[in-house]
Amino acid sequence: MVTKTTLRPDPTAGVRGRGDAFDPECPTRVVLDRIGDKWTALVIGALSGGVLRFSELRAAVGGVAPKVLTQTLRALERDGLVTRTVRAQVPPRVDYELTDLGRSLGAPIATLTDWAETHVADILAARDRFEAATGRP
Amino acid sequence: MVTKTTLRPDPTAGVRGRGDAFDPECPTRVVLDRIGDKWTALVIGALSGGVLRFSELRAAVGGVAPKVLTQTLRALERDGLVTRTVRAQVPPRVDYELTDLGRSLGAPIATLTDWAETHVADILAARDRFEAATGRP
DNA sequence: CAGAATCCGTAATGATACTG
DNA sequence: CAGTATCATTACGGATTCTG
C-alpha cells in the first residue's frame, strides 16, 4: 500500500515547472522521475548483465539516438547509479557499469516487471473494452 | 535482475512517436508509461485509502489542474485500475475507487517506494557530489 | 569511437475561463 | 460539483551534422 508519507504532494503547491509540483525530495518521485523515462529502465536492464561500452549499449538498447543515450547515462551517473570509465586509448573506449546502488535497484524493478508480466493482459483487455465501449482510444 | 525478456526493445526500431520505440506490448513499458507520469502514482496512493470523489482527490493530491486530474483518472479507468461511479444527485457526485487490479498494483509500488525511502539519500548525495565536481546541474 | 552542437516536432503539463 | 474548452509553455525525444 502506498502511503502519503512516501508519495507526498507538496503542501506549498505553488507555480512551478514540470516534474516539481511535489516535495523535491519525495523519494518515490525521485525514483519514478529517473526510471519512468523512455530509456533508463532499458539501460539498467542491459547493464545488469555486466560492463558495456557506449556502442554496445546503443546496440543492446536498440534505436536510441546517441544524444539521448548520453543524456540517460549522464543522469544515471549523476545519481550514482552508473560509473563511467574512460580508457586512454585510440580509438576511444568508455565503459559503463552499474554501481552497487544501481544494482540494488534491480530488485524493485524486477518486482514491477513481474507484476507487469502477470497483469499486462488484464490492462490491455481493459483498454480494448474501454475503447469498444466508448469509441475513444 | 532485469532481463531482456521483460524489458525488450523493439527489434523493428523505426520512426515513431514518444513512448512507442518499443514493442507496444512490452509489459514493463506499459506499466512504466502508466505510473511514470506526474500524478498517477499519487492518485493510486490516495485511492489506496478508500473511495474518494473528484474534489477530495484534488485536495488529497494537491495542486493538480482539474483537466489533468481528469486525464489521469480516465487513463486509470481505461486500463481497468480505477472505477468511476456517477451518483444521480444534485449537486453531482462522482466516486473513484481502485479495482482489484488497481489494488494489486500497490505491492510493486510499495517495493519501489521502500527502495526509494532507503536509498534516496544516496541519490541526492551523489547528485550533490556530481554538481560540486562538474559544476553542472 | 564517443560524443557535442544544433534544430525540430510532439506530447505532457498548466493556467484560465466556462458549462451542465 | 465535476468537469470541458482553449491557449500557452516547456521538456522530452529524435534527426542530422560535426569533432577530439
Distance C11 C1' – B8 CA (angstroms): 23
Give the number of beta-carbon pairs within 8 Å between A and B. Answer: 205
Residues of chain B with pLDDT below 70 are 1-25
A40 close to B21: Cβ distance less than 8 angstroms: no
pLDDT for the residue B135: 83
Q: Averaged over A99-123, what is the pLDDT?
A: 94
Helices first, then strands: H and E counts in chain B: 6, 3
Distance from CA of B130 to the nearest CA of A (A): 5
B41, B79, B131: residue with CB nearest A126: B79
Say if the Cβ atoms of B111 and A111 lie within 8 Å: yes
B35, B78, B120: residue with CB nearest A30: B120
Largest CA distance in chain A: 61
Stronger pLDDT, A77 or A16, i.e. the higher one: A77
Residue A121 has pLDDT above 90, yes or no: yes
Largest CA distance in chain B: 61
pTM, full prediction: 0.86
Contacts of A14 in chain B (CB under 8 A): 63
Alpha helices in A3-105 (DSSP H): 27-35, 40-47, 54-61, 66-78, 100-104
Distance D19 C1' – A69 CA (angstroms): 18
Contacts of B106 in chain A (CB under 8 A): 1-2
Q: What is the DSSP letter of B91?
A: S
Distance C16 C1' – B67 CA (angstroms): 11
Nucleotides of C under 7 A from a protein CB: 1-6, 9-17, 20
Sorted by where each starts, the structural domains of chain B and their CATH numbers stand as: 28-134 (1.10.10.10)
Contacts of A28 in chain B (CB under 8 A): 41, 109, 112-113, 116
CA of B84: nucleotide with nearest C1': D2
Q: Averaged over A87-111, what is the pLDDT?
A: 94
- CA-based nearest residue in chain B for residue A14: B63
pLDDT band for position A137 (50/70/90)? confident
pLDDT band for position A78 (50/70/90)? very high
A10, A25, A101: residue with CB nearest B63: A10
| Residue/partner pairs of A100-103 with CB below 8 Å, 24 or more apart | A101/B119, A101/B122, A101/B123, A101/B126, A102/A44, A102/A47, A102/A76, A103/A48
Say if the Cβ atoms of B31 and A114 lie within 8 Å: no
Lowest average pLDDT, out of A9-23, A47-61, A113-127, B65-79, goes to: A9-23
pLDDT for the residue B2: 36
pLDDT for the residue A3: 38
Say if the Cβ atoms of B112 and A36 lie within 8 Å: no
